[in-house]
Structure 1
């Protein structure tokens, strides 16, 4: 029986500085997990690394919001 890897969470550099809107991320294998830092037990959203890359790149494009 193998033990699942321990996730190491870090605060996103895009989170605000007031402490009320912090997002934490974690890299595991080829996935990226995201959670609200105020709700450590979940919910957690997990996406593939390629999907995360497309999402992040789209944030910097002026046409990404429609």
Structure 2
């Protein structure tokens, strides 16, 4: 038996509300190795049930939260190159001479 679209939407809204209700004041933020504290970087924190919080080091008050399924889809997409940037012309892109 599959969920209807309305049931799916209601479930996802409930999951989002629960995720944003979590107190994350004591989480341990991580960033990519080799970045300096004064550099702009993306930081993540692992939350219960495989969820993840993400923020910019330049705006630590704005925190996005992702369910385990959302984070998994993002990571797998990144590994597959879905978010790769096209090289700028003149920097190894197809228009480079």
1:37 aligns with 2:57: yes
Mark the structure with the bigger radius of gyration.
2
1:46 aligns with 2:65: yes
Please give the secondary structure, in 2, of the residue aligned with 1:8.
Answer: coil
Whose helix proportion is higher, 1 or 2? 2
Larger relative contact order (CA 8 Å, sep ≥ 6): 1
Q: CA RMSD in A?
A: 2.5
- The alignment's TM-score, normalised by the length of structure 1, stands at 0.67
Whose strand proportion is higher, 1 or 2? 1
Any idea what the Cα deviations from partners look like across 1:35-61, whole Å, max 9, x if unmatched?
A: 001122x21000111210111101122
Structure 1: gaps (5+ residues): none
Change (3 A) 1:16 1:58: farther
Q: How many residues align?
A: 58
Change (3 A) 1:48 1:12: farther
Structure 1: 4+ residue segments shifted above 3 A: 15-18
How far off its partner does 1:12 sit?
3.5
Match of 1:11 in 2: 31
How far off its partner does 1:16 sit?
6.5
